[in-house]
Structure 1
Amino acid sequence: MADLSQQDWTVKLNNDDNALILDVRTPEEFEAGYIPEAININIYEGQGFLDAVNKLDKSKNYYVYCRSGNRSRQACALMNNLGFDQAYNLEGGILDWKGKIIQ
């Protein structure tokens, strides 16, 4: 797991052909606005979150975010424990997502 600033996260994401964006907020938070192309898996679902994440392709590089960076940091650590080698946490979460389109 790596904590990346918005700039580093964005640059790395934009240069990664094997990237997947993961939003770990609640469905309600996701519906209120999200980073384009993100998929939503709610970390608060506990075992459901682990089950859903375990179905993801471990060969992908995951760019993970939440509201402020705390849940996504936890999600990255859980993903690392499940065998995901490349999980990048967006420091500051979507609150610090400046100058980007949020749908």
Structure 2
Amino acid sequence: MRNAILPAAVILLMLLAASGCMSQGESTDNSEVPTLQTITAEEAIILIELDPTLTIIDLRRSDEYAAAHIPGAVNIDISSSFADNVETLDRNGSYLLYCTAGGKSSSALRIMGEQGFMRVYNLGGGISAWERAGGAIAR
């Protein structure tokens, strides 16, 4: 497992470094370039380890969340006024979004990008991919 995660770690670090370089470059309007992207479960595992400020958001229904979720995740059901529910979140924070298979979290990624959030990651394949990659599950 460790050998499989190492290449993903290198790629993730390169992506994070590149996004950091872009935001520190000279700009005429002093605005940061947003990082809004879909990442693999292996990259998400590493991201969680590397970023202690990361907020993990489970977009599924509360009963699905109660049955199994990524440890530390908060539940914000995308079906119930998601755009309004994320209004109170820090737009400069880091967020990892997931659902069952990645469809709802892709929509949430777009919504958060439109609302001006700067660092949002979508877990491609959702919690299903997370479990296949050996990610921890809270019940």
Aligned partners of 1:33 and 1:9: how far apart in 2? 17
* Aligned equivalent of 1:60, options 90, 93, 103: 93
* Aligned equivalent of 1:15, options 40, 50, 53: 50
Taking only aligned residues, the RMSD between alpha carbons, in angstroms, comes to: 1.0
Aligned partners of 1:3 and 1:101: how far apart in 2? 20
Q: What is aligned with 2:23?
A: none
Work out whether 1:74 is the aligned partner of 2:97.
Answer: no
Larger RCO of the pair (alpha carbons < 8 Å, separation 6+): 1
Larger Cα Rg: Structure 1 or Structure 2? 2
Deviations 1:10-64 (A, max 9, x none): 212210132100111111111111000000111111xx21111011111210001
Residue-pair matches, total: 101
Aligned partners of 1:102 and 1:43: how far apart in 2? 21
SS at structure 2 position matched to 1:89: strand
Aligned partners of 1:75 and 1:49: how far apart in 2? 8
Q: What is aligned with 1:32?
A: 67
Work out whether 1:2 is the aligned partner of 2:37.
Answer: yes
SS at structure 1 position matched to 2:64: helix
Q: Normalising by structure 1, what TM-score?
A: 0.92
Q: Percent identity?
A: 35
Deviations 1:50-100 (A, max 9, x none): 111011111210001000011011101100101101110001100111312
Q: Normalising by structure 2, what TM-score?
A: 0.69
Give the letter for the 1:100 counterpart: G
Give the letter for the 1:16 counterpart: D
Q: What is aligned with 2:13?
A: none
Residues 35 and 76 of structure 1: is their aligned pair in 2 closer, same or farther, counting only changes over 3 Å? same
More helix by share: 2
